[in-house]
Structure 1
C-alpha cells in the first residue's frame, strides 16, 4: 500500500507530490540520527545515466574542482549508489541526492520513479521548469534529501546547468552549518580577547587554536599539534585604514597579503628567507560578495615559502567596513603535504565567516 503523497517545496522553487511505500519515511518519533562525514553526498542514480550527459552535469556541480588548489580536489566527496542497492543504512545518510528521468524505463530509475505519483509526473510534464524537490529529515533526523528529475535527459541537463550555482550553494551552506555546530562548540575566549584588543573585531575560533603571535593590527593563531590525520592550519588577521577602492583590486589584495606574511609568517622562524608568499604559477581565484553589509572579496590560492621548503593552500577574505574606515584581511592557510585539503579549507571558511568586523566595544570596556 502507498500512503498519501504530500506537497513539499524545494528552495529553488520546485513543487511536487511525493509518494512513500512501506520502506519509506519513518515517523518523527522513531527516526534515527542521520550519519555521514562533512562534505559527503550519496548520489543515487542509474549507472548508465551517470555515465552520460546527466552524470556530466552532476559532476560539474558536486565534483567540480575547487579553485586555487595545488592539485585537483572536488568540492564534495560523492559516492554513487544504484537505486536498487539502497539499504536502510544508506537511507540514513546525511546528504542524499536521488536523480531520475520519467521516460527512463530501466529498472534502476524505475525504483526512484515509483516514488512519484501520476499527478506529480503530469505536473512536471506540463511545467518543464520543475526539476527538484527538497525534503528534510525524510528518513533520519538532520538529513537533507534532494530529488532531481525531468521528463527526459535533455530537460534535466538544461535545468541542472541553469541552477548549478544554487545547487552547490545549498550543500555548501548546509555543510558549513553542520561543521560550525561541531568545531565552535568550545571557543577560544583568549584569542577573541586578543582580536578585540589589537584589531577591534570579534572572532570565533575553536578552543584547539592557540595564539602564535599578537600585536597591534595583527594576530596569528595556529593548531598546536598537527598529525598525519590532522592538518597544520593557521589563521591570520590584519587591519589597516581603508583609504581607496584600489585596495580591493585583486593585484593589490595579493600584494597586501604577501606583505603581511613576509613580515610575520615564516616556515622556519630562524630562517628569514622562509617567509610565505602566494604561489603565482597556480592562478588565484577571486569572488566578490557582501557579508553583513560589508563588501568582501574571497581569495582561494596556493602558497609556498620563499625558499620553496614548504607549500599548501589558503583561503582569504578582504573585508571593508566603510563606517569604521577600516580594511580587514582574514586568512587561513593549510600545510598538509600529499593529503586532501578540502576539509581543512571548509573549517577555515566556517571560522572566518564567523568573524564580526563591525564589532564596537562598549563604552568604558
Structure 2
C-alpha cells in the first residue's frame, strides 16, 4: 500500500507539473521571401478572371509617391496544389479559395514564423469581391507590419555608433552601419548611404509645436516647410540649386503612430529647383508635445531609372525604429 501511495503521488505530481508547463509549442521554420513579396495561393482560372482582377486592384496597386510607378507588393501566384513544403514558408500569404462557406480573416504563424496568412473564401464573384474589399486594408497593413519587422531584423545586425540624432534631438534611431553622417548643424542632422546609381538619405529636424495648426492649409504648410529646409540644408549639384517638393503633385498625407506618438505621414516626390533631378520622399511629422516641438524625420532616395520601392521601404523601417529619451 505504501508503494502504491508513493507511485500515485509521483504520477499526480508529474501530471500537475505537465499541466503547469502548458501545451508544447509546435515548431515553425523561419519564414522566407524577399521584402515586399506576396504569395497569392488560388486557382489559376480564378486568378485570370474577375476575382484575380479584384485581388490585383488592391494588392498590386501602385505604391504612393514612387517614380517610376511600382506596385506595393511583388506578387507570385501559385495554385493550391503547389502550396506545400518550402513554398508554404512565405512570410506574406494571401489564400483565396472557392467554397460554399464565405469568410475573410487573417491568421498568424500558420506554416512558418513570422508569417501572416490572409484567407478569403466565397462561392460567387460577389462573395469574393465583398470579402476582398472588406479585408484588403487590414491584410495590407498586416503584411506591411511583418515586412517592416523583417527589414528591421536584417539591418539591425550591424548598426552605426553615430550619436548625432541622440545628441541633437534626444532620440535614438537604429541606422545601419553603412550610413554615414553627411551634415550636422543645430537642429539638423543628415545621414546617407551610397547605392548603385545614387543615394539613400535620412534627415531629422524640428519645428515649433504650434506649426501646422490650420487643417485647411496642412498640405501646403508641409510643402513650405520641406522647401525651406531644402533651400537651407540640401543643395543641388550646382550653386543656387536645392531640393524642393515636386510642384506638379501634392504629397499623399496619412495619419501615423511613430515612436509611441501621434504623427502625420507624407509621401511624395522631391525635385531639385533649377536642375533635372527627382525622387521619392517619406516624411513623418511627430507630435512631440513633451518637448514642445514637432519632430520631423524624413527619408528620400536618388536613384535615376531604378525601382525605388524597396529603398524607400528600408528608410521607412529605419524611421519607425525611433525612440524618445525617457521622459520625452
Per residue, is there more strand in 1 or in 2? 2
1:252 deviates by 0.6
1:203 deviates by 2.1
For the structure 1 residues 33 and 354, does the alpha-carbon distance in structure 2 shift closer, same or farther, using more than 3 Å as the test? closer
Partner of 1:257: 226
For the structure 1 residues 146 and 159, does the alpha-carbon distance in structure 2 shift closer, same or farther, using more than 3 Å as the test? closer
For the structure 1 residues 204 and 62, does the alpha-carbon distance in structure 2 shift closer, same or farther, using more than 3 Å as the test? same
Whether the 8 Å contact between 1:246 and 1:252 is mirrored in structure 2 is no
Alignment of 1:58 with 2:55, yes or no, is yes
Alignment of 1:218 with 2:185, yes or no, is no
Alignment of 1:157 with 2:123, yes or no, is no
Alignment of 1:136 with 2:106, yes or no, is no
Distance 2:123 2:107 in 1: 18
1:206 deviates by 1.1
1:293 deviates by 5.1
Per residue, is there more helix in 1 or in 2? 2
Matches within 5 A, 1:105-124: 124=101
Partner of 1:296: 263
For the structure 1 residues 198 and 291, does the alpha-carbon distance in structure 2 shift closer, same or farther, using more than 3 Å as the test? closer
Matches within 5 A, 1:257-276: 257-268=226-237, 271-276=238-243
Partner of 1:19: none
Distance 2:80 2:189 in 1: 50
**CA offsets per residue over residues 289-344 of structure 1, 9 Å max, x none?**
34355331111101111122321111111112122211111110011111111101
1:32 deviates by 4.3
SS at match of 2:202: strand
Partner of 2:14: none
In the alignment of these two chains, the number of paired residues is: 302
Distance 1:172 1:235 in 2: 21
Distance 1:250 1:341 in 2: 24
Partner of 2:150: 178
Whether the 8 Å contact between 2:38 and 2:74 is mirrored in structure 1 is yes
Alignment of 1:315 with 2:304, yes or no, is no
SS at match of 1:243: coil
**CA offsets per residue over residues 224-260 of structure 1, 9 Å max, x none?**
x3225xx520010011321244277111111101111
Q: Over the residues paired in the alignment, what is the CA RMSD in angstroms?
A: 2.3
Alignment of 1:102 with 2:99, yes or no, is yes
For the structure 1 residues 293 and 92, does the alpha-carbon distance in structure 2 shift closer, same or farther, using more than 3 Å as the test? closer
SS at match of 2:297: strand
Unaligned runs of 5+ in 1: 1-26, 104-123
Whether the 8 Å contact between 1:188 and 1:208 is mirrored in structure 2 is yes
Partner of 2:85: 88
TM-score normalized by structure 2? 0.84
Partner of 1:146: 118
Distance 1:276 1:267 in 2: 6
Alignment of 1:359 with 2:325, yes or no, is yes
Distance 2:68 2:249 in 1: 10
Whether the 8 Å contact between 2:258 and 2:322 is mirrored in structure 1 is no
**CA offsets per residue over residues 26-73 of structure 1, 9 Å max, x none?**
x945x5433210111111112221233321221122111111222321
Whether the 8 Å contact between 1:217 and 1:240 is mirrored in structure 2 is no
1:44 to 41, 46, 51: 41
1:142 deviates by 3.5
Matches within 5 A, 1:6-85: 28-29=26-27, 32-85=29-82
Alignment of 1:189 with 2:161, yes or no, is yes
- Bigger radius of gyration: 2
**CA offsets per residue over residues 125-150 of structure 1, 9 Å max, x none?**
xxx5x323525141x44343332212
Distance 1:284 1:218 in 2: 22
Whether the 8 Å contact between 1:61 and 1:167 is mirrored in structure 2 is no
